[in-house]
Amino acid sequence: MLTKVYGSAVFGVEATTITVEVNTDIGIGYHLVGLPDNAIKESNYRIAAALQNNGFKIPGKKITLNMAPADMRKEGSAYDLTLAMGILVSTAQIKQQQPLSEYIIMGELSLDGSLQPIRGALPIAIKAKEEGFKGFILPEQNAKEAAIVEGLDVFGVTTIEQVINFFNAEIPLETTQVDMEAEFYEHLQNPEFDFSDVKGQESIKRCMEIAAAGGHNIILIGPPGSGKTMLAKSLPSILPPLSLSEALETTKIHSVAGRTKDKGGGIMTARPFRSPHHTISDVALVGGGQYPQPGEISLAHNGVLFLDELPEFKRSVLEVMRQPLEDRDVTISRARFTVTYPSSFMLVASMNPSPGGYFNDPDAPVTSSPAEMQRYLSKISGPLLDRIDIHIEVTPVPFDKLSEDRKGESSIVIRERVTKARKRQTNRFAAYENIHYNAQMGVKQIRSYCKLEEASLQLLKTAMERLNLSARAYDRILKVSRTIADLDAAAHITGTHISEAIQYRSLDRDGWFG
C-alpha cells in the first residue's frame, strides 16, 4: 500500500516541503532513500522502539520510504514522526479518519514515544500556510513559535500516541493560540538595562541615541571602568520596538539555529543582543559548517552585535565582517548549495586606548611602549574602522557623578525620541524595499536626502582635508548628520548637524588611529 505524508526541510531561513512516500510490499526489508543523512538513517531504530512501546510495530514486510525531491539533501532527526506515521498508515495499523495530506507532521521521537523539539518551526509553518496545508503537527515545545502564523491550525503534541489518536478521530487535539499584542507590550515595559542607571556620561548617551536613531555602528574607546560595557548593554532599551515583519524575520533565524526555546518558544519581541567572546572563530561569527547554520552576525539581525575589547579578536575574524557590514547579509557557499542569511545589525565595539588601558595618563599603573601600541592597534584595519560611523572617547566618571542620587533620563523617554526619528526615516524611504533607516542608505539616497548648503559643504571639506578622511567616511558623516537632523525634526541638514557629526570621526586622525 502506498501512502504519502508531508514534512519540511529548512535551507537558510526558507523551508521546502518534503513528500515522504511509504510503500509496503511482500518480503522483508527497510529501505530509506532520497539523500537522508545519518540522523535520518538511524531513525528506524527510534521508530521501532517508539512504536513497540506504544502497542504498535514495524511489520515484517518490505518497506520502502522515499523522501522527495530525491536530489535534495535532508538532515536531522525531525522526520522521525513523519516516517512513523507513514509506516502506520501504509501498514493499516491506524484508521486515518483525518487525511494525512492536509497536515505537515514533524518531530523527533524518543524511544518511549515522546517527542523532542525541532529546529525551523516558524519557516516550516510559513511555508505550510503558503502551500495550503490545513494544519501543522509538531512537538509542544515548538507550538507557540509556529502558532505565530495566522490561518494555520497548529497542534502541539507530547507523544506519538496523541497523533495516532487524532488521525483515528478518537481524541481531538487543541490548537495553539498566541496573543501577539500581549507579548510585545510585556517586553516594552520591562527593559533589562536602563540608561537611567548610567551615572554621568551625558555626551556618550547622546552618541548612543544618535546611533540608535539611525542604526549606526559605533565604537567606544576608553580606559577600564569608564562604563563602556554598561552603555552598550543599555543600547537595546532605547531602540524602537520590532515591527511584526522584523520580529518574524528575526524569529526565523533563531528558529533555524534552534534557539527560540531560550526565548520562551514564541515570537521574539525584543531586539537581539549578541556579545560573543573574543576567542570566537570566523565560522562561528559569520556562520557555516557542513550544513551551514547562522552565525553571531545573523543571530544579531535587527539587533545589536557587541564586540567587547575589539583588538583582542583575531584580525581574520574581524575582517570577515567587512562584507556583511556593507551588504547586510552573508552568503555561505558549499559545493552542492548556497544559503544566504540576513545580517542587518548594529555593530557596537569597545576597546581600551592602549594595551595597558590608560593611554596618556601620567598616573597610569601600566604604560605601553610605542611598539606595543602599534601591535595593539594594528589588529583593527582601516577598512573596518571606515565602516563604523561613530568613534567616541569614553572618559571615567568623576566621583561626584558616581555618588549622586539623582537618576538620569530613562530609556523609555529616549526611546520615544528615537522612535519618532525612525518613523521619519521609514516615511522617507517608503519607496525603497530594503532601506528603512539612515545607516542603510546607498549613494543615490545620500545624494538625494543629504544635500548641504554651501557653508556646510565648506565645513565638511575642511574636515575631510584636515582629518584625511576617506570617501566612505565622507558618506558616513552625511548619514550621521541626517540622523541628527531627524532627531531635531529638521527637514534639512544644517551646519550644526554637520559639525556634530564630524566630531564623531575626529579620532580617525587626532586620536589613536592616526
DSSP per-residue string spanning 369-414: -HHHHHHHHTTS-HHHHHT-SEEEE-PPPPHHHHH-------HHHH
329 and 410 part of one domain: yes
- Residue 183: what pLDDT? 67
Q: Are 388 and 399 in contact (CB under 8 A)?
A: no
- Same domain for 118 and 195, yes or no, is no
Nearest CA to 499 out of 472, 455, 460 is that of 460
**Are residues 207 and 233 part of one domain?**
yes
152 and 204 within one domain: no
Of the residues 418, 449, 475, the one at which a domain ends: 418
Domain boundary among 402, 418, 434: 418
> Which pLDDT score is estimated for 510?
42
Cβ atoms of residues 239 and 418 within 8 Å: yes
* Sign of the torsion formed by the C-alpha atoms of 33, 38, 39 and 42: positive
475: left (phi over 0), alpha (psi -120 to 50) or beta: alpha
In this structure, the answer to whether residues 309 and 193 fall within a common structural domain is yes
- The grid cell for 259 is 534557539
Range of the domain at 260: 185-418
Residue 340 inside a domain? The answer is yes
Specify if 510 maps to a domain.
no
Q: How far apart (Å, rounded) are the C-alpha atoms in residues 32 and 406?
A: 69
User: Domain check: are 348 and 284 in the same one?
Assistant: yes
Distance CA 101, CA 436 (A): 40
Domain count along the chain: 2
Do 159 and 196 lie in one domain? The reply is no
- 162 and 199 housed in the same domain: no
HSE-CB at 160 with a 13 A cutoff on CA atoms is: 32
Beta strands in 153-255 (DSSP E): 153-157, 218-221
Does 81 fall in a domain? yes
Residues 128 and 18: beta-carbon distance below 8 Å: no
Co-location of 163 and 190 in the same domain = no
Domain-ending residue, one of 401, 418, 435:
418
pLDDT in tens, the chain (514 residues): 889 999 999 988 999 999 999 999 998 999 999 999 999 999 999 999 999 999 999 988 999 999 999 988 899 999 999 999 999 999 999 877 788 999 999 999 999 999 999 999 999 999 999 999 999 999 999 999 999 999 999 999 999 999 999 998 888 899 998 877 676 666 555 667 888 888 888 889 999 999 999 999 999 988 888 889 999 999 999 999 888 888 899 999 999 998 886 666 678 888 999 999 999 999 999 998 877 889 999 999 999 999 999 999 998 999 999 999 989 999 988 777 788 999 999 999 998 887 766 665 556 665 667 777 777 777 788 888 888 999 998 888 876 777 777 777 888 999 999 999 999 999 999 999 889 999 999 999 999 999 999 999 999 999 888 888 888 889 999 999 999 999 999 999 999 999 999 988 866 544 455 4
- pLDDT, position 304: 96
Q: Residue 414 belongs to a domain with what CATH number?
A: 3.40.50.300
pLDDT given for residue 45 in this prediction: 95
Burial of residue 67, with CB atoms counted within 10 A of its CB: 0-12 exposed, 13-18 middle, 19 or more buried: buried
Is residue 8 located within the same domain as residue 130? yes
CATH number of the domain that 136 lies in? 3.30.230.10
Contact assessment for residue 330 and residue 237, using Cβ atoms and an 8 Å cutoff = no
Q: Are residues 197 and 278 in the same domain?
A: yes
pTM over 0.95: no
